A and B are shown apart, each in its own frame.
Chain A
Amino acid sequence: MDNSTWIAMASIITAGITIGIGSIGTALGQGRAVALALSSLAQQPDASATITRTLFVGLAMIESLAIYCFVVSMILIFANPFWTHVIAQATGK
């Protein structure tokens, strides 16, 4: 197999693994956060406004980790620098 095939294969597989593994931790974290927020809502329904707002901000913070993984996999698929380098070399020669 030549270079471009290797790079394409590695990029696609890595993109899948990145978003797959990256979302595991985020899913666990968000699940924990929502579960705790629900139980505290059940204990203190009066504080629901504060709890909901803090929950959303916290979820957004946790979610950004998964978003970084998403960005990396998007870059690997749509804007891969190594791939463009190989293509530029192939067409330049």
Chain B
Amino acid sequence: MNLTSDQTVLWRHGWVNLNETIVTTWLMMLGIAGAAKIMTRRLRIEGPVSRWQAALEIIVSVIMSQLEGVGLNHARKYLPFLGTLFLFVAISCLGTVIPGFDPPTSSLSTTTALAGCVFLSVPLFGIEDRGLWGYLKTYTEPTIIMLPFNIIGEFSRTLALAMRLFGNMMSGTMIVAILITITPLFFPLVMTALGLLTGMVQAYIFFILAAVYIAAATRPRIQETSHG
């Protein structure tokens, strides 16, 4: 039994290995992009909207409200990046209902790449918002003594981000694969349903943590205080 879908090599030419993770990732990307293209073909502001537009509006506005709840200053600016992270992880988890589909997030290389995107985007957004010096100064908060711990924390939270998603998704598919060999009919179904739930929770956690990290690197939102 393979631990991850990285080990299933479909095509090999020289040093180029085309493993199952890459293929499923690209298929999923094509599927998501194609679906988004088709669903946004007939957008309208007034009159009866199509079902697809209503569904997309619900998804986008829920993601938007979550981002605003975290305390991001201009939530709309970060919506494409963070929303894509959420949709990718969520859809790759939902894909497990297709038999034979190995979610790309159950391989460590995919989750490391996603966490790496978050790791790079945090200083980029931070520098863009506060300026280079202002961003670097956040490392010395609350005191200068915290500088090494803040830097260690930057790396360890990226590691945790990647390992959390990998561990949860990999264990989900692994449990189902083991249970199919032991009790073929009923129990794998229950565990798949449970895997769907944990997958959605993990997608939410991944996305909300990325939002929290970016919110911590950028300037806090100015709260409107009510006097009297």
Q: Which residues of A line the B interface, CB within 8 A?
A: 49-50, 53, 56-57, 59-60, 63-64, 67-68, 70-71
Tally chain B residues at the interface, Cβ within 8 Å. Answer: 16
A67 and B212 in contact, given A50-B69, A53-B66, A53-B70 (Cβ under 8 angstroms) = no
Q: Which residues of A contact B212 (CB under 8 A)?
A: 57
Hey, what's the 0/1 contact readout for B161-182 against A, CB within 8 Å counting as 1? 0011001000000000000000
Q: Is there an interface contact between A70 and B209, defined as CB atoms closer than 8 Å?
A: no
Q: Which residues of A contact B201 (CB under 8 A)?
A: 56
The 10 closest A-B pairs by CB, nearest first: A64-B160, A67-B163, A60-B205, A67-B160, A67-B164, A71-B163, A60-B209, A56-B205, A57-B212, A53-B69
Q: Is there an interface contact between B69 and A70, defined as CB atoms closer than 8 Å?
A: no
A–B pairs, 16, beta carbons within 8 Å: A53-B66, A53-B69, A53-B70, A53-B208, A56-B204, A56-B205, A56-B208, A57-B205, A60-B164, A60-B209, A64-B156, A64-B164, A68-B159, A68-B160, A70-B163, A70-B167
Q: Which residues of B contact A71 (CB under 8 A)?
A: 159, 163
Q: Which residues of A contact B160 (CB under 8 A)?
A: 63-64, 67-68
Q: Is there an interface contact between B167 and A67, defined as CB atoms closer than 8 Å?
A: yes
Q: Which residues of A contact B204 (CB under 8 A)?
A: 56
Q: Which residues of B contact A59 (CB under 8 A)?
A: 205
Q: Is B74 an interface residue (CB 8 A)?
A: no
Q: Is B137 an interface residue (CB 8 A)?
A: no
C-alpha spacing A67/B165, complex, angstroms:
10
Q: Is B157 an interface residue (CB 8 A)?
A: yes
Of the candidates A60, A63, A68, A70, the one having the most CB atoms from chain B within 10 angstroms of its own CB is A60
Report the nearest A residue to B157, measured CB to CB: A64
Minimum distance in angstroms from B91 CB to a CB of chain A: 20
List 15 additional contacts besides A49-B69, A68-B160; criterion CB under 8 Å: A53-B70, A53-B208, A57-B205, A57-B208, A57-B212, A59-B205, A60-B164, A60-B205, A60-B208, A64-B156, A67-B160, A67-B163, A67-B164, A68-B159, A71-B163
C-alpha spacing A49/B163, complex, angstroms:
27
C-alpha spacing A50/B69, complex, angstroms:
8
Q: Is there an interface contact between A68 and B156, defined as CB atoms closer than 8 Å?
A: yes
Minimum distance in angstroms from B116 CB to a CB of chain A: 16
Q: Which residues of A contact B164 (CB under 8 A)?
A: 60, 63-64, 67
C-alpha spacing A60/B211, complex, angstroms:
13
C-alpha spacing A59/B70, complex, angstroms:
15
C-alpha spacing A89/B35, complex, angstroms:
55
Report the nearest A residue to B209, measured CB to CB: A60
